[in-house]
Every structure is written in structure tokens, then in C-alpha cells.
Amino acid sequence: MELLQKTLDAIAPTDRAVMAAAQKEIDYCLKPPGSLGKLEDIARQIAGITGKIHNRITKKAIVVMMADNGVCSEGIAMYPQDITRIGADFVTSGRMGVNFLANYAGADVIAVDVGIQVDVDLPKVLNRKVRYGTANFLEQPAMSRAEAVQAIEVGIEVTNTAIDQGYDLFGAGEIGIGNTTASSAVLYGFTGAHIDRVVGRGAGLTDQAFERKKEVVKQAVRLHRPDPDDALDVLSKVGSLDIAGMAGVYLACAARRVPVVTDGLISNVAALTAIRLKPEAVDYMIPSHISFEPGAKLLKEITGLEPMLDMNMRLGEGTGCALVFSIIEAALRMIEEMGTFAAIGKSRDEIGNHVMAYRGEFPR
């Protein structure tokens, strides 16, 4: 708990003064005000995160948290739980979906065993196992409060180490059979929203299994009655170890003032968990895509994180993060490489006054 508390205490709002200064630089680029849309938003946000107007990404990583879920015994997953262990092998040998996209983006994949149900002896997997999968939360809490904290601190520790190694842009992903059920249960525990807004088909459930999944989520929350105002209570009772680990990634990035990209449903449930632990953490998150899962729209409403892409994706693993890395780097090139109004003899103050008038910030 000491590392978690230290991390929470270190998180402060992004630097609004630097963001304003960055916006002036963006507005001085030779273009109509706001015409590069979300690229401008990203450049301004990263300036506020780092405290610098001029930024360049040098090392990128997607942290993939891997864990099993005891609730799989309830028949809520299409695939057997052994797939998580196989996924660990595939992701470290470059054969998972996230790998080819990470390679394309020039990013590394950091694979972490935070709770696979069996021992994993793979040299490229970080062994940070908190326990051998969660308990079946339809029968008992998924984990203890202390284990939830430990899993969050795994994410913090792994991310801090990577930042110390020079990584300056992160994504958060996961591998774990049954984790869409856990993420739905966490979202339901936080919101109490209608079950059809929360639970989706995950990896392709049949109609019968889909209805069972919804019933399991409702019953688990009804049984444990997690406190929606206590993120650790929700996480420990109906969550998963990979969600906890990803929450730690987000918190570490916020504490160290490094941008971090969210992926799909499970990654964004972890983001919501981090936000409930420290609201200012949201300022350091950059959303990638809107998941095909119904809970993704609810998460967008709650967190205010507006995804850039709509690709009908629902794979997880951090795949959406890899796609957006290049967009983020393009946004940062704008201030560095785009021509300015100096080419036609206009000063920054002249353009600044024009833009302010355009935006209605003072009378013409």
C-alpha cells in the first residue's frame, strides 16, 4: 500500500499554462484555427503532461498484463482458460495480434504475468504473479483487498522501471480468458447501469452463454455489494488481476508525467478504476478506439475520454494503443515541422489576437 499511496500523492493536474503556450504555437502554424482537430488536442495535452511545448517520443511500450479469472468455471467464456498461458507464449514470441501492430508502430511489448493460473517459465515474461488467478466471484470475492493493491503496485513498479529505462509513451493491454466478464462486473459495480449497457459478447459467445454472462455479473454484484465509492472494494470483490495491473500503469504514468494510451473495454475499465482512485489521472490518458463492446460507450460517457478510432475492434491486448501511437507522434511533429504565419510576415501576437477573436474570447 505504501507504493500505491506514494504514487497517488504524486499525481497532480497537467500544466495548464504550458498547454496555453503550446496552443499559441499550434495556432501560429499556417492553417485555419482548429483545423487539425484532435491532433491539436493531443499536442496540447502532451505539453501539459510533460510541462514542455516541444516534445518528441523516443521509446514506446505496450504493457500487457496477463491473468486468469476463476469466474470462467461459470461457462462465460468461449475459449478454455489454457488460452491465457498460450497467449503468454505467443505474445513473447511475437505471434499475438498486438505484436504485428506494435512492430509497425516501433513499440516494444512488456509482458507481465500478474496472475496466470499456472507457472509460466518464459524468459520474456516478467513474473509478478500475485496469485494463481482470481477466485470465482460468483462464490466469493475475486481477491482480497491486499491482493488488489499488490496487483496495482505491480503495474506501478513495472511502469516506473520502464520509464527509468527511457520509455516516454505507454499503452495498457491485457490477455486473460474471462476478463470481459470481470471488467463488466467492475463497470456494473461502479455504475449500476442497465445490464445491456454493460455486458457484451466478449470473444463471441453463443446466445445462451451471453445470457448466462449477464446473469453472472448481476448475481456477483448483488452478492458482494461492492461500494461504488471505494475503487479497491469494487476491484477486489468482482475485478481481475490484469485490470488492477493496468490501473497501476495508468497511475504510474500520471505520477511520472508520461502520456499513456487506453485500449478497449477492459483497458478502459482499468482506466476508470485509476480515475476513481485519483481523478487527476484522467488528464494523462489518451483514448485510442471505441470498442465494439456496449460498455465502451458507457465508459466514454463516464470518463470523458473520447476515442479517436472506430474500427469495430474488440481484441484487447493493447492493439488499439499501437494504432494510435503513430497518430500521437504525428501530432507532436506539427509544432516542430509545420510552417508558420511568419512566411507572410505575421507575428505571433497578430495571429494570437485574430484567433482569440475567432474563438469569441474577446469582442472584435
Task: Classify residue 364: in a domain, yes or no.
Answer: no
Do 26 and 41 lie in a common domain? yes
Output the domain CATH number for residue 316: 3.40.50.10210
**Is the predicted pLDDT of residue 363 greater than 70, yes or no?**
no
> What is the average pLDDT across 213-220?
96
Round to whole Å and give the CA distance between 282 and 171. Answer: 14
Task: Classify residue 363: in a domain, yes or no.
Answer: no
**Is the predicted pLDDT of residue 34 greater than 90, yes or no?**
yes
Domain that holds residue 32: 2-55+332-358
Do 74 and 123 lie in a common domain? yes
**Is the predicted pLDDT of residue 205 greater than 90, yes or no?**
no
> What is the average pLDDT across 157-185?
97
Do 17 and 86 lie in a common domain? no
Task: Quick: pLDDT tens for 229-272.
Answer: 999 999 999 999 999 999 999 999 999 999 999 999 999 999 99
Say if residues 51 and 257 touch (Cβ distance below 8 Å): yes
Which pLDDT score is estimated for 2?
96
Do 7 and 31 lie in a common domain? yes
Q: CA triplet 265, 266, 269: central angle to 5 degrees?
A: 85
Round to whole Å and give the CA distance between 4 and 273. Answer: 13
CA distances from 50 to 4, 12, 94, 307 (A): 22, 12, 31, 21
**Is the predicted pLDDT of residue 364 greater than 50, yes or no?**
no
Cell 511545448 belongs to which residue? 53
Task: Quick: pLDDT tens for 78-129.
Answer: 888 999 999 999 999 999 999 999 999 999 999 999 999 999 999 999 999 9
Task: Classify residue 242: in a domain, yes or no.
Answer: yes
Place 54 in a pLDDT band, splitting at 50, 70 and 90. very high
Do 47 and 118 lie in a common domain? no
Output the domain CATH number for residue 24: 1.10.1610.10
Do 48 and 133 lie in a common domain? no
Cell of 288: 485510442
Which pLDDT score is estimated for 361?
65
- Report how many domains make up the chain: 2
Do 76 and 129 lie in a common domain? yes
* Percentage helix, strand, coil for the chain under 3-state DSSP, each rounded to 5: 55, 10, 35
Do 262 and 350 lie in a common domain? no
Do 69 and 197 lie in a common domain? yes
Do 128 and 19 lie in a common domain? no
Do 31 and 111 lie in a common domain? no
**Is the predicted pLDDT of residue 164 greater than 60, yes or no?**
yes
Round to whole Å and give the CA distance between 285 and 280. Answer: 10
CA distances from 106 to 103, 235, 246 (A): 5, 33, 21
Which pLDDT score is estimated for 51?
98
Do 41 and 111 lie in a common domain? no
CA distances from 22 to 124, 126, 133, 360 (A): 39, 38, 45, 19
Task: Classify residue 208: in a domain, yes or no.
Answer: yes
Cell 448466462 belongs to which residue? 212
Catalytic sites, residue numbers:
317
Task: Quick: pLDDT tens for 277-310.
Answer: 999 999 999 999 999 899 999 999 999 999 999 9
Say if residues 197 and 87 touch (Cβ distance below 8 Å): no
Task: Classify residue 112: in a domain, yes or no.
Answer: yes
Count Cβ atoms within 10 A of the Cβ of residue 41 and give its class: 0-12 exposed, 13-18 middle, 19 or more buried. middle
